[in-house]
Chains A and B, each alone.
Chain A
Amino acid sequence: MANFTLRVNGETKTVSVEPDAPLLYVLRNDLELNGPKFGCGLAQCGACTVLVDGKPTRSCVTPVSTAAKARITTIEGLGTVDRLHPLQRAFIDEQACQCGFCGNGMVMSAKALLDRNPRPSDRQIKQTLNGHLCRCASHNRIVRAVQRAAAALRAEGRS
């Protein structure tokens, strides 16, 4: 065990874990964040995605030691039920899920996309999210939600 100081959603947290413990379990179990999900543990489905220094990262295969110096953002860091981020607002407005288990990863990768491309085409959104699996098949709603969020962010002048 070793101590690691993590910067998560703007807060500094210290955890005592093995250096190779996957970041996912630290976020879920030590920091009690529900956003990132265990889906496969193999970086195949995208449900565990968080932003590490702004980059979408599969937390299920990321050792905590490699993320210790970085800025980590989970879906909790985007907004709350009372103060929704435009992406969260858009996914709710489009009712863009059934079970919603994949939703965390979709939102986090979309966040990174909109940060670098405020006006993506549907094609670009689909290509960005192609590494994320959705089993209830809310794909079309998810694409619409990302477009809705992009428009909202542009209108707010946040992108």
Chain B
Amino acid sequence: MNRRDFLKASGGLVIGFTLAPRLALGQDRLPGSLNANRMLDAWLRIEPNGTVTIFTGKIELGQGIGTALSQIAADELDVNLQRIDIVHGDTARTPNEGQTAGSLSVEQSGTALRFACAEGRDMLVSAAAAKLGVPATDLRVSDGTVSAPGGATVTYWDLARDTDFKREATAKVKPKPPAEHKWVGKSIARRDIPKKFTGGAAYVQDVRLPNMVFGRVVRPPSPGAQLLSVDEAAARRLPGVVAVVRDGNFLAVAAEREEQAIRAREALTRSARWKEAASLPPTGEALYQRLMSSPAPGETVVEKTSPVAEARVKTLEALYTRPYQSHGSIGPSCAVAHWQNGKLTVWTHSQGVFPLRADLAKVFGLNPQDIRCIHAEGAGCYGHNGADDVALDAALVARATGGRPVKLQWMRDDEFMWAPYGSAMAIKLSGGVDGQGNVVSWSHEVWSHPHSTRPGSSAGVNLLAARHLAQAFQPVLPADVPQPAGGAARNAIPLYDFPNVKVVKHYIAEAPLRTSALRTLGGYANVFALESFIDELALVAGADPVELRLRHLKDARARAVIEAAAQRAGWQPGLLGDGTRGRGFAFAKYKNLACHCAIVADVEVDRKTGRVSVTRVVAAVDAGQIVNPDGVINQIEGGIIQSASWTLMESVRFDRTRVTTRSWSDYPILRFTDVPEVEVLLLNQPAERFLGVGEGAQGPTAAAIANGIANATGKRLRALPFTAERVKQALA
């Protein structure tokens, strides 16, 4: 992106949409994000040039949200999709929709835009009726042109000036029935893709400002390390160095050229002396023993009891574990920061520009209004990664460059060592089966560190560098994400109808390694455990795993995806693997609130090496009304393969002092030749509300693989990941 495009794109001008008035008591609840952003002009604008701009607080991260929201708006407004422009996540221009997370964007932003655009269309048609002197009910709209029966027409663009969207939405105008949708429900090609394959300016890494310099950080070698000394002067003498920033334990550099910044970073790394402490937990099984011996009390999430008539109950208990896992985005976190007259502008791939702004304002002692955060895409985002942290890094360095903008990108080791991890977890399952093979009792106890330590909380600052500054800002230990979505206990409550159920969580807020949201939060490990354990009980009960699930499941939509996946995959009840090949089944409704997803995984185990290959996966998904079928398939397919990678290969390495995962050679992920064939069946429900889909496949895939290995070999694996070494050991 060159300077002119940037001025066009960001303008420096603040578009004057009306900020939502404070919610008065007794105000009607409006649908989706409209409730917190109630003004129509916060969501859409009819432009005089024949286009429509829609505004969303949700950001594009390659999940296709920009395209899906455009489809929704085009349908409600009756304009062609090509006329829709979309602005994502900009504190000066868009509604505040918090984080783009939790598979909620279509549910929240899509619902808001649907109602706002339906109401907008209604107002435009009323204006047309007045202008044409024809009752509104007689008018037709086609691609923004309103026509009267006599042939008179007027366009939205003519009406724009007389139609004031600066008013509160009522959500009283009913959106269209699905049968009238022209764009929703179609696999519209994503609008973000062409530039990504032609070298267009697609990412924050592609932002170039006049006079910009390049920054790099020099992170401590371990959590809690104290900087004793560093030869700043020597670094300043290196070619191209513009600034060396040292503030407490925060150390960074800016240089004219990117490779010069990297050289200076290397020099600072070499000369820096740090005081380190052994603050990290043990590894291996001891890690989980440590977690389970934490003093965090057990909190009952759900408890249901009823008498069990049958005396002959067989019981079983099992412990499942999940290690720390990394986001492992292909491009390290990056931001561009620019200070002008005491005001800060940051281009960021943060999932939440408003919460980021709030934390930046605390660090710099500014009014939030003096900071503008503008979203630009980064590399793959699977949760709370380094995007917010690097924004603060860039802003800190840009204070020292005399007003020159700074583009700061983390190096690969910064990313692996400092982006928050998905928490290690331990999960103890126990259950009982009666003489008829029915599950009569079920208990799920989970130990976990936080799954959401994002910026924007009311107290403290959740940006990495803030805790390294001389005047440090500490993060406040966060509370767990509450039910029903849940964090540590996400998806821990079985959907199955068992007469006795108890779910207990131990939420350990103090984390030796920084943890936060990684796609599904606790859901991946909880579903892995739950859906593995039901297979273990099926074995005890002598029941087929699919039949046992259906036996305890009333929800018709859940049953339908299970049946569809089983049928498509050609599931044969009771079929055992042959020692190397096997097949596993699993199911979950993400968060117990979002999409239903059933998975059948075919696996092959090399008994000599222990290597597990997932050869084929069939998925069935019910995500309510589907806006963009290919977008849903892409999310599920990607989720399955990513989860297979987590499940078979991934765990962060560390010793008692330092994280030792630094590069891809320390953190292998699935490659082309290991990737399964994937087939995704969509069970569309046009009359139902949108259900989030982005995280639906992670949990069931892990359990289906574990169940497949058990089916193939008779060995049950309960400790993630299923590396060749571990599988070989289990088979010995």
Contacts and interface: CB of A to CB of B under 8 A. Distances in A.
Interface of A: 17-18, 21-22, 25, 28-29, 32-35, 37-42, 44-45, 47, 74-76, 79-81, 84, 88, 91-93, 95, 97-104, 107, 123, 125-127, 129-130, 132-143
Contacts of B638: 98, 136-138
Interface in B623-651: 630, 634-635, 637-642, 645
Contacts of B331: 37-39, 47, 101
B608 interface: no
A9 to B, nearest CB: 10
Contacts of B640: 137
Given A100-B62, A138-B638, A92 B197 contact: yes
B28 to A, nearest CB: 37
Contacts of A125: 672
B198 A80 contact: yes
A72 to B, nearest CB: 13
A45 B332 CA distance: 12
A92 B199 contact: no
B198 A81 contact: yes
Most chain A CB inside 10 Å of its own CB: which residue of B61, B258, B332, B670: B258
B659 to A, nearest CB: 16
B412 interface: yes
Given A34-B206, A40-B412, A136-B62, A99 B377 contact: yes
Given A80-B198, A101-B331, A92 B379 contact: no
Contact of B199 (A33, A130, A138): A33
B200 A139 contact: no
Given A47-B331, A92-B189, A95-B630, A75 B672 contact: no
Contacts, number: 179
Given A44-B663, A75-B198, A101-B378, 20 more contacts: A28-B258, A44-B412, A44-B665, A75-B197, A91-B197, A92-B189, A92-B197, A95-B193, A95-B634, A97-B193, A99-B61, A99-B329, A101-B329, A101-B330, A101-B331, A133-B671, A135-B330, A136-B642, A137-B642, A140-B637
Interface string B184-199: 0000011011111111
B672 A99 contact: no
A107 B329 CA distance: 19
- Name B's interface SS: loop
B387 interface: no
Given A103-B196, A136-B62, A98 B634 contact: yes
21 contacts: A25-B258, A28-B258, A32-B2, A34-B202, A38-B332, A42-B412, A45-B330, A47-B330, A98-B638, A99-B381, A101-B330, A101-B331, A101-B378, A125-B672, A134-B330, A136-B638, A137-B641, A137-B642, A137-B675, A139-B672, A141-B634
A18 B257 CA distance: 10
Contact of B380 (A32, A91, A136): A136
Contacts of B214: 29
Interface size class of B (residues with CB under 8 A): 35 or more
A10 B437 CA distance: 72
Contacts of B672: 125-127, 129-130, 132, 139, 142-143
A18 B261 CA distance: 13
A93 to B, nearest CB: 8
B198 A84 contact: yes
A97 B194 CA distance: 11
- Name A's interface SS: loop
B203 interface: yes
B257 A81 contact: no
B719 interface: no
Nearest to B67: A95
A140 B677 contact: yes
B637 A25 contact: no
Given A22-B259, A25-B257, A99-B381, A130 B673 contact: yes
Contact of B645 (A88, A100, A130, A137): A137
A99 B62 contact: yes
A39 B330 contact: yes
Interface string B134-150: 00000000000000000
Most chain B CB inside 10 Å of its own CB: which residue of A74, A88, A97, A102: A97
Contacts of A95: 189-190, 193, 630, 634
Given A137-B641, A137-B645, A88 B330 contact: no
Interface string B1-39: 010000000000000000000000000000000000000
B73 to A, nearest CB: 21
Contacts of A28: 258
A80 B197 CA distance: 9
B677 A130 contact: no
Contacts of B382: 135
Interface string B207-220: 01000001000000
Nearest to B206: A34
A101 B380 contact: yes
B408 to A, nearest CB: 12
Nearest to B61: A99
B62 A130 contact: no
B678 A133 contact: no
B301 interface: no
A77 B130 CA distance: 54
B664 interface: yes
A140 B678 contact: yes
A75 B331 CA distance: 17
B205 A21 contact: no
Nearest to A35: B199
Contact of A133 (B62, B411, B639, B664): B664
